[in-house]
Amino acid sequence: MRSRVVVLCLGLAALVAAGCDSGGGGKVIGATLLTATHVFYQDLVDEMQEAAKDHGFTLRVQYAEFNSQRQIEQIEMFLAQGVNALIIAPTDSSGMGPAIAEARARGVPVFTADIAAKDADVVSHIASDNYAGGVILAEYLAKVLGGKGKLAIIDHPEATSVQDRVRGFMETLARFPDMRIVQRAPGEGQRDKAHRAAEKLLQAHPDLDAIFGINDDSALGALAAVESAGLQDRIVIVGFDGTPEACAAIQAGKALKADTVQYPRKIGRQTIETVAAHFRGEETPKIVNVPVGILDKAALDAERGS
C-alpha cells in the first residue's frame, strides 16, 4: 500500500511540476515546431507567446530541427507532462499520424500550424493559403518571362504546405504551354542544401530561365548559386516567405525578383485563438487559411517610400 501511495504522490507532483493547473487554472500548451533557424518560425513563436499570455496559457516550445524522431519524442514528452493541448508543425507530414492518434486517444486536442499532417485527426489546421501563394508566383513568372521558358523547383516533398505551394504553381503554369518545369530538386527547405541543389540544376540545365525556391532559405540558397555561376542577369528566382533578407535582395535588384509573403505572426496568433476557442467549447474550422500576398521591387519601393 505504501508503494502505491508514493507512486500516486509522485504522479501528482509531476503534474503540478508540469504546470497543468498553473496560473490560477491556466492551460498548458505544448508546441513542437519544424525549426528555430527560420525567421518565419521565430516570428510565429513570438506572436504565439504573446497570444498565450493574453489568454493566461503557458506555452512550451520545442524545435525538432527537421528530425522526425526527435519530434515524436517531443510529443511523447509533452504527453507525459500532461499538457492540455498540442500544436505541431510536422517535420514529415506523412509520419506524424501515429503520434497524433496517441495524443487524441489520451484526450489531448491537437492542432497543426503552418504544415499539415496527412491521415491525422486534428482539431484544426492553421496556415497560409499556400496554394494561392503558388498561383501568384506562377502568374508573376509567366508575365516576367513572356509566357515561355524552362523552370526548376527547389522542393521539399515531406511538407504538405510546400506541396500545396507547388501544386498551385504547377497547375497555374499548365495554362502556359511554352513554360516547362524541367526538374524538381529536393532542398529540404534548408539554405545549404538548396545551394547545392541549385548548383547541380545549373550544371544539368545550362539554359534554365527561372527557379522557384519553396521558401526563402531555398530561394536565397539558389541566389548564391546563381551569383557564383555569374548568371544573375539571366535567371529569375522567386521565393516564399517575405523575410527581411529576401526582401533586401529583391529591393537591391538581385536575381531574386519576387516573394509570396506570409504573415507568420498572424498564423501564430490565429493558432492560439483557435486553441482558446476550442477550450471554450466552440466549434472551430478544420482548416483556417491566412491570406498571402506578393512582393516585388516595385511593391517594396512603394512600401518604403523609395
- Mark whether 34 and 166 lie in a shared domain: no
8 A C-beta contact, residue 230 and residue 206: no
For residues 31 and 116, membership in a common domain is answered with yes
CATH, residue 145: 3.40.50.2300
Using an 8 Å Cβ cutoff, are 199 and 225 in contact? yes
Q: Is residue 272 part of a domain?
A: yes
Q: Establish if 198 belongs to a structural domain.
A: yes
Range of the domain at 173: 130-262+295-303
Same domain, 158 and 299: yes
* Three-point CA angle 226, 188, 70, nearest 5°: 150
Q: Are 153 and 253 within one domain?
A: yes
Domain assignment of residue 134, yes or no: yes
Full 3-state SS string of 186-204: ECCCCHHHHHHHHHHHHHH
C-alpha cell recorded at residue 287: 482548416
* Residue 241 dihedral angles phi and psi, to the nearest 5°: 155, -50
In a domain, 10, yes or no: no
pLDDT per residue as tens, the chain (306 positions)? 333 333 333 333 333 333 333 333 489 999 999 999 998 999 999 999 999 999 999 999 999 999 999 999 999 999 999 999 999 999 999 999 999 999 999 999 999 999 999 999 999 999 999 999 999 999 999 999 999 999 999 999 988 999 999 999 999 999 999 999 999 999 999 999 999 999 999 999 999 999 999 999 999 999 999 999 999 999 999 999 999 999 999 999 999 999 999 999 999 999 999 999 999 999 999 999 999 999 999 999 998 775
Any domain includes 51: yes
Query: What is the C-alpha separation between 57 and 161, in angstroms, rounded?
Result: 27
The answer to whether residue 39 is domain-embedded is: yes
Same domain, 255 and 271: no
- Domain identity same for 170 and 299: yes
Q: Helix %, strand %, coil % for the chain, to 5?
A: 50, 20, 30
Look up the pTM and report it. 0.79
- Alpha carbon 302 to chain centroid, angstroms: 28
| Pair 186, 37 in one domain | no
Q: Sheet of 149-155: strands edge to edge?
A: 179-186, 149-155, 210-213, 236-241, 256-261, 293-296
Instruction: Tell me how many domains the chain contains.
Output: 2
